[in-house]
Amino acid sequence: MPLLEVEGLKTHFFGKRSVTKAVDGVSFTLDHGEILGIVGESGSGKSVTSLSLMRLVDHPGRVVAGSIRFEGRDLLTLSREEMRKLRGRRMSMIFQEPGTSMNPVLTVGFQIGEAIRSHERVEPAEVRRRTMELMEMVGIPDAKQRLNQYPHQFSGGMLQRLMIAMGLALSPSLLIADEPVTALDVTIQAQILDLLKDLRDTTNAAVLLITHDMGVVAETCDRVVVMYLGAIVEEAPVETLFDDPKHPYTQGLLGSIPSIEEKVEWLQAIPGTIPNANEIPTGCRFSNRCPKVMDVCHTVDPALEFVGEGHRVACHLYTETEDRDV
Ligand SMILES: Nc1ncnc2c1ncn2[C@@H]1O[C@H](COP(=O)(O)OP(=O)(O)O)[C@@H](O)[C@H]1O
Ligand code: SF4
Ligand SMILES: [Mg+2]
């Protein structure tokens, strides 16, 4: 049984005049110890997907359909209290701007300790020991001294390490990392990604790594899901996706970013910009930007179908030919 099984997830935001279908029918699974990337341009629904998993979507947003099975339980049926216990303990989340998630007037040691104390009754000496252990685990030297320091005394990369330490404080089986290296410079990015891989190897925690950067995916992930306008358009093991991308959108993404070192302008290979999620084109959601668009694409939404081992794509170029002549 996979660790996480998301089926038909829809999360919509209800505005005065329109509905934004931020997540519009997303299904994927994640195994223990696996690093799954979710990649796509800004506005494709990556963050709303991750917030939905944590049940942290606020009004006017709401999960309107689907199921989220995690460790055998459907998260959408749990009470607030059950969900609160699960967050931090079994699944936790780190964000793009590590500094903003920390309290500037409390020491980092106190804050990591709080992640432990909020869920478990532990003696102060034990909290301190575990805090130091966590800081060492994420590669912060001199933990004994540094736990008495404040967030502003740490660099961006070190703060992200601290956030990861907090996220892993209670040994969750799932860590959701939403653009964890986007705010960091390139050499630090590589170090943080290495750290995530090392931690996955030592703790067997699964990582859901959200990014707009194909270089980050190449560097880190085992498998990847490509999102566009609230839907998955392609899914594959990472080597397959880079060797044999099928969806014209994925092909465009790969054309524009060859590696993590070369920060070429995102998506220069694909014309136009992503529409608003309250104006999803009919038929294929990529049809107004696709260089290979056909008649059928304007009327029929292509289903996500297997084209190879673990490789799924939602595009009429790969569906039966008789369906195409509409
Ligand atoms: N609180 C909100 N209220 C209304 N719309 C939102 C809200 N949060 C996100 N959205 C919309 O949902 C869509 C997906 O956003 P998001 O998941 O943040 O994209 P990504 O993380 O891929 O950049 C966007 O169109 C965004 O404007
Ligand atoms: S279904 Fe049509 S418009 Fe959509 S990606 Fe495939 S070829 Fe392009
Ligand atoms: Mg986002």
Domain of 67: which CATH number?
A: 3.40.50.300
The closest alpha carbon to 41, from 287, 249, 300, 291, belongs to: 249
CA 33 to chain centre: 15
How many C-beta neighbours within 10 Å does residue 123 have? 8
Instruction: Compute the distance between CA of residue 324 and CA of residue 297 in angstroms, rounded to an integer.
Output: 8
Same domain, 146 and 248: no
Provide the pLDDT for residue 192. 94
Provide the pLDDT for residue 279. 83
Same domain, 155 and 179: no
Helices 124-137 and 156-167: crossing angle in degrees, nearest 10, is 130
| Token pair recorded at residue 145 | 């001294």
Provide the pLDDT for residue 275. 81
| Total-model pTM | 0.92
Per the domain annotation, does 138 fall within a domain?
Answer: yes
Beta bridge partners of 62: 12
Per the domain annotation, does 269 fall within a domain?
Answer: yes
Our answer on whether the CB atom of 11 is closer than 6 Å to any ligand 1 atom is no
The closest alpha carbon to 164, from 154, 155, 149, 175, belongs to: 175
Same domain, 185 and 167: no
Q: pLDDT exceeding 90 applies to what percent of the chain?
A: 81
Provide the pLDDT for residue 95. 86
Residue 70's φ and ψ, nearest 5 degrees, are: -135, 125
Per the domain annotation, does 158 fall within a domain?
Answer: yes
Same domain, 158 and 265: no
Provide the pLDDT for residue 256. 52
Terminal-residue alpha carbon distance, the chain = 40
Same domain, 167 and 35: no
Our answer on whether the CB atom of 274 is closer than 6 Å to any ligand 1 atom is no
Is there a contact between 215 and 44 (Cβ–Cβ < 8 Å)?
no
DSSP per-residue codes, 261-316: T--PPTTTTS-S-PPPTTSPPSSSTTTTT-TT--GGGGT-----EEEETTEEE--G
Residue at which a domain ends, from 114, 144, 171: 171
Ligand 2 pocket test, candidate residues 232, 297, 307, most atoms within 8 A of CB = 297
Instruction: Compute the distance between CA of residue 73 and CA of residue 123 in angstroms, rounded to an integer.
Output: 31
Distances in Å between the Cα of 139 and the Cα atoms of 124, 160, 242 are: 23, 11, 31
Atom of ligand 2 nearest to the CA of 247: 5
Residue at which a domain ends, from 117, 140, 171: 171
Q: What is the mean pLDDT of the chain?
A: 91
Number of folded domains in the chain? 2
Our answer on whether the CB atom of 287 is closer than 6 Å to any ligand 2 atom is yes
Same domain, 72 and 108: no
Same domain, 35 and 178: yes
Per the domain annotation, does 97 fall within a domain?
Answer: no
> pLDDT tens digits, residue range 248-303?
999 988 885 444 444 444 444 577 777 887 788 999 999 999 989 999 999 999 99
Atom of ligand 1 nearest to the CA of 51: 17
- Distance in Å, CA 70 to ligand 2 centroid: 33
Instruction: Compute the distance between CA of residue 120 and CA of residue 89 in angstroms, rounded to an integer.
Output: 10
Same domain, 289 and 211: yes
Per the domain annotation, does 290 fall within a domain?
Answer: yes
Provide the pLDDT for residue 30. 98
Same domain, 144 and 78: no
Same domain, 284 and 307: yes
Same domain, 187 and 160: no
Provide the pLDDT for residue 96. 84
- Distance in Å, CA 46 to ligand 3 centroid: 5
Residue at which a domain ends, from 151, 171, 191: 171
Q: Which amino acid is at 191?
A: Q
Range of the domain at 242: 4-90+172-323
Beta strands 4-14 and 61-70, pairing class? antiparallel
Provide the pLDDT for residue 266. 41
| Token pair recorded at residue 106 | 């409390």
Residues of the chain with pLDDT under 50: 257-268, 322, 324-326
Same domain, 255 and 134: no
Per the domain annotation, does 167 fall within a domain?
Answer: yes
Per the domain annotation, does 95 fall within a domain?
Answer: no
